Each structure stands twice: as structure tokens, then as C-alpha cells.
């Protein structure tokens, strides 16, 4: 992927926005448990304080990452339709002849079987390709190929 801002799908945006809300809530809870360093008692209390401070720092980093990603996605505009990019819906034909419509996204949804992440082997292979291109990627069973059938909608009927 290039360093340019990448668009994201509406579904991925909703997922990131929900994660951001959850992280902000968690951050408020963690921040509320931190005490003034003068009032911290024994070493166990100090260790607990340090652990919560580290957790707060991790939460702040993730909140910043998501905020930047959402801002960049807004600047990038809609997902491309001329080549596969993050946010694209792409129809792919596998060697067994089956055609699947997949969405290339950033955030894997636990129950979404049609989403491939942009950093997965198939997702990386698809990025930047156009209809008719054959992509090669690795699977646990070895190398595999697929053909990009269409971008931006359901597969054309054959």
C-alpha cells in the first residue's frame, strides 16, 4: 500500500467509530482509577498505578491511531472502482470455478465471512489490481491464485 490516505468502507468506518467510542469510555474509567502519586501507598499500590498508567498510554495511542485513520479516510473519498483498494467490493474467481464477492477492509468483523483485511495474504494480493488480473497469494496449504472478475458490485452473470 502507498502512504496516501486510503478510503474505507461504511462498515469499516462504523466499526472504527464504535471502537473509538468504546476506547474513550474505557479511558475515562481507567483515568478515574489513577490516584495522586503522593497518596500512593506501598509498592503493590505503586505497581498497580504504573500498570494503569501504561494502560492509559496504550488507550491514548489507539485512540489517536483511529482518529487519524478516520480523518485520512474522509480525505481519501470513496473506495476506487477502477482498481482494488481498501473499501472495494471485489468479485473473485477461484481455481475451482467458484466466484465470491468480497470486501477489502481494515477491520475484521468476527461474523463477516465476506471481508478480507488489506493486510491478509489475499487482501494484499488484490490491492491495486483490475478486472481480468490474476493474483497470487499464500495460504496455509501453499500458493494459490484467483482472478479479479469485477470491482464495485456483484459479479457479472456468466
What's the pLDDT tens digit per position in 20-75? Answer: 999 999 999 998 887 655 555 566 677 888 888 999 999 999 999 889 888 887 77
Is the sign of the CA dihedral 150, 154, 155, 157 positive or negative?
Answer: negative
Distance in angstroms (rounded) separating the CA atoms of residues 125 and 106: 14
Distance in angstroms (rounded) separating the CA atoms of residues 10 and 13: 5
Q: Which is more confident, 41 or 156?
A: 41
- Which pLDDT band, with edges at 50, 70 and 90, does 158 fall under? very low
Instruction: Report pLDDT for 133.
Output: 95
The beta strand positions in 3-127, using DSSP E, are 89-93, 99-105, 115-117
Task: Cite the DSSP H helix spans in the chain.
Answer: 10-33, 43-76, 121-126
Instruction: Report pLDDT for 4.
Output: 62
Per residue in 86-140, pLDDT (tens digit) is 778 899 999 999 999 888 876 655 445 667 887 889 999 999 999 999 999 999 9
Tell me how many degrees the CA angle 23-29-32 measures, rounded to the nearest 5: 135
Per residue in 11-26, pLDDT (tens digit) is 677 878 888 999 999 9
Terminal-to-terminal C-alpha distance of the chain: 32
Amino acid at each position: 500500500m502507498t502512504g496516501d490516505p486510503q478510503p474505507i468502507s461504511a462498515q469499516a468506518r462504523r466499526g472504527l467509530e464504535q471502537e473509538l467510542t468504546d476506547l474513550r469510555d474505557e479511558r475515562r474509567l481507567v483515568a478515574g482509577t489513577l490516584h495522586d502519586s503522593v497518596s500512593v501507598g506501598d509498592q503493590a499500590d505503586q505497581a498497580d498505578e504504573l500498570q494503569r498508567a501504561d494502560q492509559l498510554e496504550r488507550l491514548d495511542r489507539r485512540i489517536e491511531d483511529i482518529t487519524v485513520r478516520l480523518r485520512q479516510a474522509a480525505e481519501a473519498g470513496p473506495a476506487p472502482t477502477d482498481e482494488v483498494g481498501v473499501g472495494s467490493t471485489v468479485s473473485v474467481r477461484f481455481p475451482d470455478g467458484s466466484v465470491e464477492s468480497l470486501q477489502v477492509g481494515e477491520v475484521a468483523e468476527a461474523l463477516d465471512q465476506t471481508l478480507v483485511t488489506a493486510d491478509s495474504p489475499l487482501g494484499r494480493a488484490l490491492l491495486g489490481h483490475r478486472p481480468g488480473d490474476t493474483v497470487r497469494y499464500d495460504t496455509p496449504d501453499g500458493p494459490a491464485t484467483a482472478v479479479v472478475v469485477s470491482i464495485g458490485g456483484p459479479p457479472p452473470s456468466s
